[in-house]
Amino acid sequence: MPLTLATITAGEPEIFAAPQGEGPSAGQPSVFIRLSRCNLACHWCDTAYTWRFEGDNRPHRDEATFERKANQITLDEEDAAALVAAHGRTRLVITGGEPLLQGAALARMLEQLPDLYVEIETNGTVAPHPALDRQVDQYNVSPKLAHSGNAAELALVPERLASWAVDPRAWFKFVMSDPADLAEVLALQRSYAIAASRIYLMPEGRDSATLHERTGWIAPLCSEHGYNFTDRLHIHLHGDTRGT
């Protein structure tokens, strides 16, 4: 099976070089590959073009739907690997959508890119394919809190969270839109014995003004609880755009 990717423009796969904008590798020069399709539906998702196609009635605050043909493209693993390699970066960030839905195909792609440091950004609900897992250096796990609009039984899968919690490659990134969200983070930290040093809090927002406002109350929470703070560098640099 080939890989199903998102597009920057119709017919152009979303594979691009940029600094990593979030999490423990923020600022690191990277090449990104964005896959299409997701098993969750965050109502504030800023990549809804990877899943909210015409006919998909899962809620989103923009209420926009996207034409599948213009926003999806399939590539053989060899072709995707060649496009990644052409950017000449040593760090690969695999993002989505939910990348782990395409684990077997990703494993075959990575077999052709043996010298890259590989990060995968995941919502934490899908188990990595064994052949893929052997090739991953870092997981950026972003469990979705109640404000995402996803039902907890879909978004917070106990066996998966327990598995991530004992994987030293996994970092936890929680999207915050209100100070009350902290209670959920603290409860998950306690339930799965996650070290504070492995937790990042990140403001939800698709423009710099919103990110700055929320940083004002998130940063003190990080200091109080020993968490890390992460901004969204790509939003400050480029706004809410594809291929950044």
pLDDT band at 17 (very low <50, low <70, confident <90, very high): very high
User: Can you say whether the dihedral through the CA atoms of 239, 40, 37, 115 is positive or negative?
Assistant: positive
Predicted pLDDT of residue 151: 97
Q: Does the pLDDT at position 1 exceed 80? A: no
- Cα dihedral sign, 185-238-100-133: negative
d(CA 181, CA 197): 18
φ and ψ at residue 8, rounded to 5 degrees: -85, -50
Q: What is the mean pLDDT of residues 164-172?
A: 98
Q: How far is CA 104 from the centre of its chain?
A: 18
Q: How far apart are CA 140 and CA 123, in angstroms?
A: 8
Q: Which helix (H) or strand (E) holds 236?
A: helix 233-238
- 3-class DSSP state of 40: coil
Rounded Cα distance between 194 and 187, Å, is 10
* pLDDT in the model for residue 92: 98
Q: What is the mean pLDDT of residues 175-187?
A: 98
Q: Which CATH architecture has domain 3-172?
A: Alpha-Beta Barrel (3.20)
Mean pLDDT of 217-221: 98
